[in-house]
Amino acid sequence: MSVEPRSNFLRTQIQADLESARVSALVTRFPPEPNGYLHLGHAKSISVNFGLAEQFGGHCHLRFDDTNPEKESQEFIDSIQEDVRWLGYQWQGEVRYASAYFNQLYEWAMYLIDQRLAYVCDLSAEEARDYRGTLTEPGRNSPFRERSVDESRDLFARMRQGEFAEGARVLRAKIDMGAANMNLRDPILYRIRHASHHQTGTEWPIYPTYDFAHGQEDAIEGITHSICTLEFEDHRPLYEWFVEHLPVPHTPRQIEFARLNTSYTITSKRKLKQLVDEEVVIGWDDPRLPTIAGLRRRGYPAAAIRHFCEEVGTSRSDSTADVAMLESAVRDHLNQSAPRRMCVMKPLRVTLTNLPDTLLLDVRNHPADLDFGSRQLSMGAELFIDQDDFREEANKHFKRLVLGKRVRLRGGLVIEADRCDKDAEGEVTQVFARCVTSVPGADPEDGLKPKGVIHWVSADEAVPATIRRYDRLFGVPEPAREQDLMAAVNPHSLIVIDTAMIEPGLVNATPEAGVSV
């Protein structure tokens, strides 16, 4: 099942850029920061960037934006690569790292100092905040702004040598402290951080800011279209300033689109981390989390996630997609792609009083698609059905097994219930029934056809299993707006059923390999 790419403003823009030969081949990138697991929002960004490259015969890079070493780790780097691949995409060439460009970025910072477009500033963080002004008031020039080129060069080189303490000084661009756009008020380019980095070790005691690194990384890699989310719109003038004032090899074009928000879902890494750290869920790959790893464990097909990302569309206005759209895409995909197996959650023993021999049944693996083939199940005199599938009495809306009535066992015979045993509390403990057909799939000869079909397992061959039934993690449609996120957690989001009995063939089933047919 695939969805046709629909027209959207990104596709229109790229098409126009290719037709006008402004660019000769599309190059996009997905630039995650390796400080958490990817989530559904990232899946949207991945499907946009890799999807566009696929559609227009271009390339997409995977680049780790690793300028913040304290929060990053190899665990996240590994999981992100696995998730992108699992979603069905492959990046062009090797995985890339912002940290691989640290030397180039350092040289460009020196270049800006030489051009009198950057200076080392010794204001403390608090003073700098004060000098920065507000949305309604312009900022004031730092007293260090007119420092000589030589002095800034010397101080910056010594920052790089690790001579100064964290927070002692920063390198800033010299743009305009009166700019209405706060991002242009002499933004920070480099900070001192005596932190070890997962890629560069202890080589660098200074790190570029995201703003100084990001656009230049795109320029180095020849990214033609830097697609990002709307919160970076206000940063675009700054990125353009850098590209204009630095000898970069290439000019990327930034286009913003609205983030994907989904109802009943949290897609903030900080909040997801809180759920993991406070053990509300079992880990980053808990099936209730909207992380790609969680969705994968929950059994969501990658194709269904891609389908959802396409179906919600790509626009420049913020909106929230209904999570039911995702759930419905998952059901549609699984309905077509999943081989069927039987399991009973709360077993109720059924004894077939007139079955002379165990029957070997050939049961179809898919109700509609014969290509899934069939499997053999044996049906003896002792079976389990689900407790909920039996009632002593019921009206005609209950289409399952009722005393004195008939039901079809999926893939097997038609049976009629004669009597049942009960325990001291009045709970039914066993049902005695008769087979009223002898050929699997056939209708009773007396013409009294059963209305319903129920599932079952053989009491002799079924295997006990623990079933985890997952529901939405939050009981409210907009959990991100809750004051107390923890109070919004659905207490029934995980129900563990340890009484289940499953078909023997399910024992070695895995989400990756499925079941052996």
Residues annotated as part of the active site = 33, 259, 269
* Residues 468, 456: Cα–Cα separation, whole Å: 19
Count CB neighbours of 100 within 10 A.
16
By CB under 6 A, name the one of 259, 273, 349, 364 that touches ligand ATP: 259
Alpha-carbon distance values, 417 to 310, 359, 431, 453, 460 (Å): 50, 19, 7, 14, 20
Q: Considering the complex, what minimum distance in angstroms separates the CB of residue 308 from ligand ATP?
A: 12
Burial of 441 (0-12, 13-18, 19+ CB in 10 A): middle
Q: How far is CA 116 from the centre of its chain?
A: 45
Q: Considering the complex, what minimum distance in angstroms separates the CB of residue 166 from ligand ATP?
A: 23
Q: Considering the complex, what minimum distance in angstroms separates the CB of residue 299 from ligand ATP?
A: 22
294 lies in the binding site for ligand ATP (CB under 6 A)? no
Alpha-helix residue ranges (DSSP H) falling in 162-281:
210-220, 236-245, 269-277
45 lies in the binding site for ligand ATP (CB under 6 A)? yes
By CB under 6 A, name the one of 12, 55, 268, 354 that touches ligand ATP: 268
* Residues 517, 97: Cα–Cα separation, whole Å: 43
* Residues 447, 434: Cα–Cα separation, whole Å: 16
Q: Considering the complex, what minimum distance in angstroms separates the CB of residue 296 from ligand ATP?
A: 18
Total residue length of the chain: 517
The nearer residue to ligand ATP, 261 or 351, going by C-beta atoms, is 261
By CB under 6 A, name the one of 26, 223, 260, 302 that touches ligand ATP: 260
The nearer residue to ligand ATP, 40 or 385, going by C-beta atoms, is 40
Q: Considering the complex, what minimum distance in angstroms separates the CB of residue 155 from ligand ATP?
A: 31
Alpha-carbon distance values, 42 to 36, 293, 395, 484 (Å): 11, 12, 50, 25
Q: Please identify the residue of the shown chain whose CB is closest to the bound ligand ATP.
A: 41
Are 500 and 344 within 8 A, CB to CB?
yes
Residues 6+ apart with CB under 8 A from 68: 33, 35, 207, 210
Show the beta-strand stretches assigned E in 2-152.
Answer: 27-30, 59-64, 96-97, 118-121
Q: Considering the complex, what minimum distance in angstroms separates the CB of residue 358 from ligand ATP?
A: 55
Q: Considering the complex, what minimum distance in angstroms separates the CB of residue 268 from ligand ATP?
A: 5
The nearer residue to ligand ATP, 233 or 388, going by C-beta atoms, is 233
* Residues 163, 186: Cα–Cα separation, whole Å: 24
**CA-angle at 354, arms to 353 and 357, nearest 5°:** 110
Q: Are strands 118-121 and 374-379 parallel, antiparallel or unpaired?
A: unpaired
**CA-angle at 486, arms to 34 and 265, nearest 5°:** 55
Q: Considering the complex, what minimum distance in angstroms separates the CB of residue 223 from ligand ATP?
A: 12
The nearer residue to ligand ATP, 294 or 347, going by C-beta atoms, is 294
Residues 411-430 that bind ligand ATP (CB under 6 A): none
The nearer residue to ligand ATP, 63 or 169, going by C-beta atoms, is 63
The nearer residue to ligand ATP, 50 or 156, going by C-beta atoms, is 50
User: Among 477, 354, 373, which residue's Cα sits nearest to residue 416?
Assistant: 354
By rule CB under 6 A, what count of residues binds ligand ATP?
14
SS3 label, residue 95:
coil
**Measured between alpha carbons, how far apart are the two ends of the chain, in Å?**
22
- Both structure tokens of 196: 């070890």
Residues 6+ apart with CB under 8 A from 145: 119, 121, 174, 186
Residues 3-42 that bind ligand ATP (CB under 6 A): 31-33, 41-42
The nearer residue to ligand ATP, 65 or 389, going by C-beta atoms, is 65
Residues 211-240 that bind ligand ATP (CB under 6 A): 228-229
The nearer residue to ligand ATP, 15 or 261, going by C-beta atoms, is 261
β-pair partners for 391: 402
Largest CA distance in the chain: 104
Stretch that binds ligand ATP, among 152-160, 176-184, 259-267, 465-473 (CB under 6 A): 259-267
Q: Considering the complex, what minimum distance in angstroms separates the CB of residue 315 from ligand ATP?
A: 12
- Both structure tokens of 355: 């079955």
By CB under 6 A, name the one of 44, 191, 288, 400 that touches ligand ATP: 44
By CB under 6 A, name the one of 224, 267, 365, 493 that touches ligand ATP: 267
The nearer residue to ligand ATP, 232 or 390, going by C-beta atoms, is 232
| Residue 70 DSSP label | G
Residues that bind ligand ATP (CB under 6 A): 31-33, 41-42, 44-45, 228-229, 259-260, 267-269
